[in-house]
Amino acid sequence: MIVLVTGATGFLGRRVVRELLKRGDQVRCLVRTPGKERVFYHRDVDVRYGNVREPASLEEAFYDVETVIHLAGIIRTQKL
């Protein structure tokens, strides 16, 4: 089973990826910023680049995926 994890390079995402790999799942990580995939250098993960705010960039990442764990957060601050 291929599991796509958005927000995979974040605090929670890295731990979720580790647990999925322990379970024996095939893990695909959606990475927005090139270079951040280094956190997976010792792991057997499939890294795809994209941005959840740009739907056209996601098609390749979602190909053949059975489960999505969505951990990416969009944080915006506004002045009141």
As a three-state string, the secondary structure of the chain is: CEEEEECCCCHHHHHHHHHHHHHCCEEEEEECCCCHHHHHCCCCEEEEECCCCCHHHCHHHHCCCCEEEECCCCCCCCCC
Task: List all residues 6 or more positions away from 22 whose beta carbon is below 8 Å from its beta carbon.
Answer: none
The Cα–Cα gap between 50 and 59 comes to: 9
Query: What mean pLDDT value characterizes the chain?
Result: 90
Domain limits, the chain: 2-70
Write the pLDDT tens digit of every residue in 14-34. Answer: 999 999 999 999 999 999 988
pTM: 0.85
Q: What CATH architecture is 2-70?
A: 3-Layer(aba) Sandwich (3.40)
